[in-house]
Structures are given as structure tokens and as C-alpha cells.
Structure 1
Amino acid sequence: MKKLASRAAAVAAVAALSGACVAPASAMEYGEHAPDNAESRTVASLRIGRVGNFGDCTGTLVAPQWVLTARHCLESVSNEGTQARIAGTVYDADSWSLSPVMDAGLLHLTRPVEGVEPAKLADSMPAQGDEGNLYGWSSSSLMARKGQLPVARMRVREILAGPGAGGGAGAPHVEGPGGGEGAGGGAGAPQILRGDGSMPEPGSPAPGAEAPSPDGVESVPADIAMGGGEVAADGAGGVMPKIVGGILEAESLTRAAMQGGDSGAPFFVGGKLAGLATAGTANGDPDLPSPTAAITTLSDAKSWIQDITSGRDTSSVLTADTTPAPPKTPQTSADYVGRYLAVAAAGLVLAIALGWVARRRA
């Protein structure tokens, strides 16, 4: 149990760190080549910021000029210069919006996407046992680097938060931006999740069994890997409300596994966009394959998405000029030069004194 708890702590640490380095949830390792269809054509490969690379995160076209992705992809670095590649064409992004209650964010493109029908949002949350397709453009995937979109067939194994979680009743209502409903919770950040009962950007816990894992990978039960509660997440250092929307754990039905490098991957059920990938849940190391993933569901976010994409809510849309600066880099030794010089001087004096005593005794 102690070993399992340490694994859970590692998962939580990955979640927190992911907010600082845009790496989140997962790439489709050993996924199959996605066919050209209505689902796959909406999947976007995202390059976050001017110094990013395509495959930093994955998104989904939900309106002619709007791409939906994970919130944590858009709040850890400067988004200025962000681009989306959809159906082989590159589009520039000029603004974005972050859900205040879940791991979801929207990117506005400078021009409409032509020749691609935006994905339709699911009206309800998938149930345990439902199957769907998860697509991911992560640059960690060899297939994706060859220009082939990977897809994995997934099954909902457990409801971690929201209606049906742990056999409980539905979650309370939460207001989203523009008065719409929001799926509960703290922002996202390949933020995987906290094992202390609070989920940094994505959801809340429920009893769970260990997932089947690839050789050499220890599984962490979903109820330990995921949590629910308040979390400091917005750019201004505020506290996000407790997540009350749906969070699922989905398991791969094939050899496909999640691997660090792709967050926001769309989860389609019955041809509709039901959720997006927030984090892998099988282990605490983002570089190890994970056969299970935490999926943030989107039915509760439908009103928020429609408010933003229709233009009804413009106050929640940010630009490079109105977005708070991303977290500063950790302090380095340069911040403590005076202190280190004092310690070095004291050490030198001590060394001289010890040498003098040694010579006296000799």
C-alpha cells in the first residue's frame, strides 16, 4: 500500500508539473492509423506558443473558427503564436478562452476552417461500459510523427466524478461563463490529479480497481490517482471551484496506450464528441505507457462552448495582451549569489583553520 501511495503521489506531481511544461495527458502509443472520416477530420494538432511544436497538444474543431482542447495546454506558457493544423492545413490562433470549472479551453482561429464539418457535442455523459474512439496527435507518437493520426478504441471503465460516480447521485449544478452550465472543477493541466482528495484541474474520485498494465508498469487505482476539490489554477493565482462535472476513466481495448505528450485528445462516442483526454492514470511517470486515461466529459460544458463560439460571451475571451503572464521559472542559484558566497567564505575559513590545527598536531 505504501508503494501504491507513492505511485499516486508521483501521478499528482506529474499533474502539477504538466501545468508548467505543457505535456500532458497522452499520446497514442501502438494506436491504429485512423481512417479518414467525419471524426478524424476534426482532430487538430496544436503547436502551443512561438517555441512550441505541432503535437504539443491535441484539439477538436467544434465551430468553424474554434478548436477545443485541454485547459492546461493553454495556461502554462504564452499562447501568442499558437497554431492548429487541421486536415493538413495550418491556422493561426489569435485568442482563447479557459473554462472556469473544468479542464477545457477554446482556441480562436484567425480564419474559418473550410472543408471540415465541426464535431457535434454529446448531449449526455457516457455510461460505464460505453465504447468510443480516442484520437491523439502527440509528437511522442512515432505514427503521428509520420503524419498518420493514431486512434485507440476505448471503453468507459469507471465514472470517477459526476452522475453515477461511486454509485452516488448526480453532481450539483455549477454556473459557467456567460451564465451557462459548466462541468465542475478546477482547470486542467496535464495535470493529472491529486491523490489527496483534490484534483488539480480535473475531477473527483471514486472507488476503482487497478487497470491492466503493460509489462513493467504498475497500475494505480483510479480512486487514488484522481481526486476532487479546490485548486489554485487560474492565471491570477485564484482558486478553482471543486469539480462537479463528469470525469471518466477509459481503458484501451487494444495494445494502444497513453504516453506523455498529448492532452486534449477527443473522445468520440456514437459519433459525437463526448470528452477530452486530461491525463493517463496507470502510473506516475508520463514517459511510461498508460492503458487507461482520465477523460473530462463535455456535456455539461455545452452551454459554455456555445456561448463562446457564438460570440454571446466575449468578456471571457483572452488575447496575448489580456492574458496573465505564465508562472515564472523556478528560482536558480543566481537568486542566492550573496548567500552562496557567504557559505563558501565560511567553508574556506573552516578549511584553513582545520589545516592549521593539523599542522600543529603534526
Structure 2
Amino acid sequence: MRRVMTLTLAAAVAATAFVAPAAAADPGQSRIDKGKFSTDAPWGAQFIRVDGSRPNAIVCSASVIAPDWILTADHCLTYQNTGRKFAVLVGSLKRGEGTRYEVASHMSKYDVTLMKLATPIPEAAVAPVADAVPAMPSADIEIYGWGLECPAQTNGCKPAPALKQATLTYNRKARDHKGGPALGLQRGTGNASNGDSGGPAWAGGKIVGVASTAVRDTAEYSSVGEPEIRRWIRDNAGV
């Protein structure tokens, strides 16, 4: 495929396994390819596996959508023996820095996951979730993540030292890694890569997607503005 994993928040968060499921790469392998470093994304979160494979490693990107709720991708939690305990780093754009918050519970719908924090983030900077799917075509979809700085499924890359972002075009309807509705994006100033998984896609000042899969020039972001998914987020996270 092209799973993203941990975009991971700057070129749409590069960081989960944005490679096709059939040939998924390790979620913690990469970051946004090309793009630029972010300077203002206080809602960004770095996803950590506390146990399982790669314990305490930052493997995906995520977003704070409420003081005690984090939005990310389901495959970040389930890919290759990821374990049962998770945490996030919040408050810094630099990889590996920030305040750590433990995850108390989580729930998923398709490749979208909501994580409930054990302790709310004081004075949290939260990212608003869109109430509708953006119009198509749209050439101003901004993605964020801490993933690799080279295309998905490329060996020998290192994760970005800080959150990155890139602008892509929404030009087709697609399906995410778990079969849910997704935004089909085309490379623009950059593209999502491994480790960007779970990272957000923004349009109109709100999150419209969550990084699910990607290849060299295209990416699929779970569409959180779809009525079914939007209701699910509102019913559970209250936002």
C-alpha cells in the first residue's frame, strides 16, 4: 500500500506506514517528503508506543482536538505488534520534545482513532474538526507530520527533526487503509511519507482528514468531515 504512520504534523504529518497495506513499511520510518518546517501548530501531537514493538518510539503524528482527546490513525495502534499502552508528546514542534501525556483508552472507526488522555492538557491548543468534506478539486489542502523526509517506501531515510507541512491537491474520492471514506490527494509542494500517519490534513482552518496511506506522489487521508465519521467524533469526544 502506502500506509502513512506518524506524519506524522507538518507536511501533513508524516509518520505511520504510508505504504500500501500489502507492503506496509514500519510506521516509524518516515516524515513529510519535501514541504517545509512548520512554525505554528500548537495542536500537534507525537504518537508514542509505550510497549510492544519499538517501545517508547515516536511512530506517528496526531492532533489535539480537545483537552483530553487526541485524533490519529487506527493503524498507528495496530501495526506490527504495537502493544497496548500509548502516549503522546504535546507542546513542541521538535521531534522527541514536549510534555508527555498517557493514553487511558481509545476507540476506532475505519482508520480513524480517538484517544482519551489519562490527564487533560492544561490550557490546550485544540484543532477544530471540519463539519463537511471540502469541495473537489481543491489545491490548498495542507498536511502536517513528523515523518520521513523522503518518499514512502524509500530506505535509508531519517525522520524530520521537527514538524513539517506541505500543500497538496484533493482531486479524487478514495478509501483509507481500513476501507473507510478518504480524500485522495495529489503531491504538491510535498507529500506524506512514513511516520506521517495519523497526522492531519487541513482546509478552511479545520482538520478535514487523517493520514492513512501514501505512495510517492499520492496519499489517502481518512475523511473526518463525512457525516458518519463526524457524528462518531462528536458523540464520543464531544467536539
Q: Does 1:273 align with 2:207?
A: yes
SS in 2 for 1:35: coil
> Is the Cα–Cα contact under 8 Å of residues 74 and 108 in structure 2 kept in the other structure?
yes
Aligned twin of 1:298: 224
SS in 2 for 1:302: helix
Residues 170-204 of structure 1 deviation map (CA, whole Å, 9 limit, x = unaligned)? xxxxxxxxxxxxxxxxxx6xx4xxxxxxxxx13xx
> Is the Cα–Cα contact under 8 Å of residues 27 and 257 in structure 1 kept in the other structure?
no
Distance of 1:257 and 1:53 partners within structure 2: 26
User: In the TM superposition, what is the alpha-carbon distance from 1:124 to its structure 2 partner?
Assistant: 0.8
> Is the Cα–Cα contact under 8 Å of residues 45 and 54 in structure 1 kept in the other structure?
no
Q: Does 1:32 align with 2:46?
A: no
> Is the Cα–Cα contact under 8 Å of residues 46 and 82 in structure 1 kept in the other structure?
yes
State the AA in 1 paired with 2:196.
Answer: D
Structure with greater helix share of residues: 1
> Is the Cα–Cα contact under 8 Å of residues 23 and 261 in structure 1 kept in the other structure?
yes
Aligned twin of 2:46: 45
Q: Does 1:159 align with 2:188?
A: no
Aligned twin of 2:71: 68
> Is the Cα–Cα contact under 8 Å of residues 26 and 263 in structure 1 kept in the other structure?
no
Q: Of 107, 112, 133, which aligns to 1:125?
A: 133
Distance of 1:17 and 1:115 partners within structure 2: 41
Distance of 1:25 and 1:308 partners within structure 2: 31
Distance of 1:144 and 1:41 partners within structure 2: 20
Q: Does 1:15 align with 2:17?
A: no
State the structure with bigger RCO (CA 8 A, min sep 6), 1 or 2: 2
Unmatched segments (≥5 aa) in structure 1? 1-6, 162-187, 192-200, 203-242, 282-289, 312-362
Residues 60-93 of structure 1 deviation map (CA, whole Å, 9 limit, x = unaligned)? 1111111111111122335433110111211111
Q: Of 119, 140, 163, which aligns to 1:149?
A: 163
Unmatched segments (≥5 aa) in structure 2? 3-18, 92-97, 150-156
Highest CA radius of gyration, 1 or 2?
1
Q: Does 1:249 align with 2:204?
A: no
User: In the TM superposition, what is the alpha-carbon distance from 1:16 to its structure 2 partner?
Assistant: 4.0
> Is the Cα–Cα contact under 8 Å of residues 153 and 253 in structure 1 kept in the other structure?
yes
Q: Does 1:262 align with 2:196?
A: yes
Distance of 2:197 and 2:84 partners within structure 1: 19
User: In the TM superposition, what is the alpha-carbon distance from 1:149 to its structure 2 partner?
Assistant: 0.8
SS in 2 for 1:299: coil
Aligned twin of 1:331: none
Distance of 1:145 and 1:79 partners within structure 2: 24
Distance of 2:202 and 2:101 partners within structure 1: 23
Report how many residues are paired. 205
Distance of 2:123 and 2:49 partners within structure 1: 24
SS in 2 for 1:278: strand
SS in 1 for 2:50: coil
State the AA in 1 paired with 2:136.
Answer: Q
- Which residues in structure 2 correspond to 1:94-133 (within 5 Å)? 94-99=104-109, 102-130=110-138, 131-133=140-142
State the AA in 2 paired with 1:298.
Answer: V
Q: 1:249 to 1:26 in 2, by over 3 A?
A: farther
User: In the TM superposition, what is the alpha-carbon distance from 1:260 to its structure 2 partner?
Assistant: 2.3
Distance of 1:267 and 1:127 partners within structure 2: 14
SS in 2 for 1:253: coil
User: In the TM superposition, what is the alpha-carbon distance from 1:295 to its structure 2 partner?
Assistant: 1.4
> Is the Cα–Cα contact under 8 Å of residues 275 and 297 in structure 1 kept in the other structure?
yes
Aligned twin of 1:176: none
> Is the Cα–Cα contact under 8 Å of residues 142 and 202 in structure 2 kept in the other structure?
yes
Q: Report the identity percentage.
A: 25
User: In the TM superposition, what is the alpha-carbon distance from 1:59 to its structure 2 partner?
Assistant: 0.9
Q: Does 1:137 align with 2:137?
A: no
User: In the TM superposition, what is the alpha-carbon distance from 1:49 to its structure 2 partner?
Assistant: 3.3
> Is the Cα–Cα contact under 8 Å of residues 31 and 160 in structure 2 kept in the other structure?
no
**RMSD (Å), alpha carbons:** 2.9
User: In the TM superposition, what is the alpha-carbon distance from 1:143 to its structure 2 partner?
Assistant: 8.4
Distance of 1:143 and 1:35 partners within structure 2: 20
Tell me the TM-score normalized by structure 2: 0.75
> Is the Cα–Cα contact under 8 Å of residues 25 and 278 in structure 1 kept in the other structure?
no
> Is the Cα–Cα contact under 8 Å of residues 59 and 265 in structure 1 kept in the other structure?
yes
State the AA in 1 paired with 2:198.
Answer: G
SS in 1 for 2:78: coil
